[in-house]
Every structure is written in C-alpha cells, then in structure tokens.
Structure 1
Amino acid sequence: MQTTIDAAIEAGKEIMTIYKTDFDVAYKEDESPLTTADKRAHTVIKAKLERSFPDISILSEEGNHLSYDNRASWDKFWLVDPLDGTKEFIKKNGEFTVNIALIEGESPVFGVIYAPALDVLYVGEKNKGAVKIEKASQVDNLNKVFENGTKLPVPAQNDNNIRVIASRSHMSEETKQFIQKLTKEYDEVETISAGSSLKLCLIAEGKADFYPRYAPTMEWDTAAGHAIVEAAGGKVTTAEDGKPILYNKKELKNPWFLACREK
C-alpha cells in the first residue's frame, strides 16, 4: 500500500511541476490530449511498481498496450491512468487525478486516487473499506491510512435530496434523460459537475447518489475509482443490465455504467 500511495503522490508532484508552466499539448490518434505531465507521471509510477512488484504486470494508458493474447493469462495486474482528466489539467481547474488499481481476475480489489492540485488522496481496498486523506503530501506515514483517514462514506447532513454527478466534459443526451427520469421519481434532484475520477470519489464519499456514464471510458479511467466505490459500500455496474463491470477484456473500452453510493 505504501509503495502504491508513494507512486501516486510522486507522480502528482511531477504533474504539478508541468501544471505551473505554459506546457504544450499534443493529440493522440483518437484526438484525446496528451501532455508531458502524462508521460512523466507514467514513468514515475512504472518505475516504482516494477521495482517493488517485478512479477505483477502493468497496463497503463501511456504504456505499451499488449494484445489480448498476451494479457489473457494475467491473474493479477496493475491498471494505471497516470493523469486522468487531461482536459481538466489543460483547463487548469484542478480536477485531475492519478489512478492506480490492482486487478485480480476481472475485478478491481485495491485502488488509489490522488488529486495533486487538491492534495487529496482516496484509498479503497476490498473487505477493508475506503478512506479519504486531506493534505496527503504532508502526511508522514500513509501506511496507516485506514486508521488515520476519514472513513467513507461520510454521513450525510441532509439525505433527502437526490444528487446526480455528471462529467464537465461529457454530458450526453442519455445522461440528461437519466436525470429527467429521476425528477419524476424524487421531489428534488440536484446535478453536480466534476472532472476525472473525482466523480467516482464523490460517490464513495456519499456526496452524490448516482453517477450515470453514457459516454466512452476506458478501463484505466474507472478501475481505481471502482475499487474505492465498492470498498465504501457502493456499486458500479453496467447501465444496461446491472451486471458487474469487468476488466482485462479483449476490448479495453468500458460499457456504459452506473455508479451508486451506499444506501
């Protein structure tokens, strides 16, 4: 745990050194943006994980994407998004994260999300729970996060309202329809906007009730947040039939999904 958290925070520091400059933006084949920060964060995380866990493979957004034939035999692997929310990074609104998840079989069992501009860390582990740590880079011993962090979900002050979280960059027509349906079922529905995997973190915290995602995501976008949501008692399932979201698929793109907080 300490190694993974250290990797996320060190990657966050690399990201922030770029964030404070007038950086250049390149574009991948799918037209998604790429910055030097993405590459530096990937290098930091890869080096730390390989040094401590040489027998566990790494699948990173910014690394080499092996074919399914090469990945199919993996029973355990790291799934990494070195900089999730590059669009938010470019906008300089602070809502971007470092995501590291451990996948066992087809399910995320451990997740770390670090928001470097906010200096907030989220950690979730199957059968152990989920926590949030403020001012994470200033904490000396993060190996005891489950003892010292704020346990998630945080008890709600007013649980009468329904809160739906939607992407700042990806508000689809289907998401609008989902929200419209809720307004017919509940007296008051509030829409919350956020970027990157912080949307899943807000579900884990209990600050939002639903996160419908009717827009494209990849496995590395969701794995860490998925682990944290489930460790906090919530669910992340396919939007179509409520089945579990699976990882290390032949096609790394996720189906549309719905995240719900603990009830």
Structure 2
Amino acid sequence: MQPDAAELKRVMESAALAAARAIMAVHSAGPDVQYKPDSSPVTAADEEAERLILAAMVRHFPSVPVVAEEAVAAGLVPDISGGLFFLVDPLDGTKEFVAGRNEFTVNIALVRKGVPIAGIVLAPALSSGFVAVENRAERFTVTGDFAVGERRPIGCRSRGTALTAVASRSHDTPQTARFLDDHGIDACTAIGSSLKFCLVAEGLADVYPRFSRTMEWDTAAGDAVLRAAGGETRTLAGDLLAYGKRNQPHDADFANPNFIAAGAGWSIGAAAGAK
C-alpha cells in the first residue's frame, strides 16, 4: 500500500534533516575517507546518514522496501518486485563533501512501477532543500537547528531564446560539450550532486545533460522534484528514465543510461538524439 502523502512528506523531511545533522557533524570535524571496491569514496557521514534514514523508513513504512547505496554496496538488496520501493542516497556528492565544497545532498525518493513519485533533496551546507509529493514541488529553507523554515512552490520555466544548462562538476565529458554546442547553449553552470535537477525544477536552468555514469539513487529524488515541477528526464532513446532496473544485460543493477533532464518546452526526443 502506498504511504499517505502527508505522512510521507513529514517522514522524508524528518529523516533527511536527521541525516543532515549527522553529516554536518562529520563535515565540521573533517571526514575520514575510505574507498569502496569501485573506487568511489565513502565516509562516516554516508554510513551514519544511511543508518538514520533506513531506521526512519522501516519504522514508519515497514512494508516498503528500501534500496540504499551503502547497503547495496554491502550486497544487501531487498525484493522490489512489488513495484513500490524507496531509493536512498544518504550523501550524494561525496566527492564535493570530501573536497570541502557545499554541493552535497541527502536524497530520498519513493518509486512506484518505475516512476519516482515523491522525493526530497536536502543540501545541508546550503541550508536549503527541495521536496515533491503529489505532483507539487517546493523549495524550503533549513534553520540552524535543522528544522524546515520557509517554503515556496517551484516550477520549471518556459523555454526562452537564451538557454542555460547545468552539468556535473566532477564528471564532465566531451559529449556534454558537444551537446551544448549542438543546441547553441553558451551558459553552463557546473555543480555537484542532484542539485542539478533542482536548478532546472526551480526555473534557474533549462536542461541537464548527463553523459556519464549515474546510479538510480543518485537521480531518483531530484528526478521526482523535476517531474513534479513540470519537467522530465529521458534517455537518449527518448524514453522516460525508469527506476528499479535489475538484471541488465550490459550494466549493473540500478545503473542508469545517459539521459537528458529538462524543463518545460524542451523537445527532449530531438535533444536526446543529438550526436
């Protein structure tokens, strides 16, 4: 059974704020960095934030399985055949976190039949967050004692003549530069984590092209916010980006293909087909 919308929003926000408090405690002390088998960094902040989020999800929604980044890395993958599950990245942008930048986020999303229907992206060091439930996207501030402050609705902007893109700070590629050139986009902001989705959702950018590897927990929460704000995320084949991808013949479980995330008025099918 799908969680009640009001309770879902409350629990996601509470869990993300608890995780944010733990992350900022490690951030202040200076993280001790370890490396996983895939050479990606992990810190005590990732692990404690995931522990707190998992505890909250299990306590409030015990029948909904949770796919969480660090748990999957440890080989713990729940049965998601029922089609309803949470995707959690406790600290998206660990490279930004380790480098001392502020663009890391806590990501929690609810997926139903391959579609991210709710999500929260919280940026602890920026004292802000984004949440989407029932096709409504909001931006909110985070107070000094890790509570939700002011809220306001957000939405993608209409496409104009001057286009702005956002791209990965740590994973730039020649394909990204070619995409920008093919579409006459001169303005591009490099930023870490799932905040790229949120900038498009907030109407501060038009498109986020991604031509390097991501996992579903990296994208689901930001994608949920974007879709609720009137945008969408499509693969290069023009299909909506789907979640819960298991037993993929040419990639790992939960790995995403390249994609284009864009706001209102963007012809994603044409954009995705650009070479």
Instruction: Tell me the TM-score normalized by structure 1.
Output: 0.89
Write out per-residue CA displacement over residues 190-234 of structure 1, whole angstroms, 9 at most, x where no aligned residue.
Answer: 011110000111010111111000000000000001110000000
1:87 aligned partner: 95
Check the 8 A contact 1:71/1:248 in 2, yes or no: no
Alignment partners' CA distance in 1, 2:220 and 2:157: 24
Q: Which amino acid in 1 is paired with 2:48?
A: R
2:230 aligned partner: 233
Following TM superposition, by how much is the alpha carbon of 1:160 offset from its aligned partner in structure 2, in angstroms?
4.0
Alignment partners' CA distance in 2, 1:72 and 1:101: 14
Following TM superposition, by how much is the alpha carbon of 1:74 offset from its aligned partner in structure 2, in angstroms?
2.5
Alignment of 1:100-115 (within 5 A): 100-115=108-123
Following TM superposition, by how much is the alpha carbon of 1:73 offset from its aligned partner in structure 2, in angstroms?
1.6
Q: Root-mean-square deviation (CA), in Å?
A: 2.0
Write out per-residue CA displacement over residues 72-119 of structure 1, whole angstroms, 9 at most, x where no aligned residue.
Answer: 522211100000000000111100000000011111100111000011
Write out per-residue CA displacement over residues 10-49 of structure 1, whole angstroms, 9 at most, x where no aligned residue.
Answer: 1001000000112211111110000000000001101111
Q: Which amino acid in 2 is paired with 1:51?
A: R
Alignment partners' CA distance in 2, 1:260 and 1:136: 30
Alignment of 1:15-30 (within 5 A): 15-30=23-38
Residues 107 and 155 of structure 1: CA distance in aligned 2, closer, same or farther (over 3 Å): closer
2:180 aligned partner: 179
Alignment partners' CA distance in 2, 1:105 and 1:208: 29
2:208 aligned partner: 211
1:190 aligned partner: 187
2:241 aligned partner: 245
Check the 8 A contact 2:17/2:146 in 1, yes or no: no
Check the 8 A contact 1:182/1:189 in 2, yes or no: no
Alignment partners' CA distance in 1, 2:80 and 2:11: 26
Alignment partners' CA distance in 2, 1:41 and 1:134: 20
3-state secondary structure, aligned to 2:70:
coil
The runs of 5 or more residues in structure 1 that have no matched partner are: none
Q: Which amino acid in 2 is paired with 1:131?
A: E
Residues 138 and 159 of structure 1: CA distance in aligned 2, closer, same or farther (over 3 Å): farther
Following TM superposition, by how much is the alpha carbon of 1:121 offset from its aligned partner in structure 2, in angstroms?
1.2
Following TM superposition, by how much is the alpha carbon of 1:66 offset from its aligned partner in structure 2, in angstroms?
4.6
Alignment partners' CA distance in 1, 2:161 and 2:129: 28
Q: Which moved more, 1:12-21 or 1:159-168?
A: 159-168
Q: Which amino acid in 1 is paired with 2:237?
A: D
Following TM superposition, by how much is the alpha carbon of 1:135 offset from its aligned partner in structure 2, in angstroms?
2.9
3-state secondary structure, aligned to 2:71:
coil
Residues 179 and 155 of structure 1: CA distance in aligned 2, closer, same or farther (over 3 Å): closer
1:260 aligned partner: 262
1:131 aligned partner: 138
The runs of 5 or more residues in structure 2 that have no matched partner are: 1-8, 247-252, 266-275
From 57, 64, 87, the equivalent of 2:65 is: 57
Alignment partners' CA distance in 1, 2:146 and 2:169: 30
Report % sequence identity.
Answer: 39
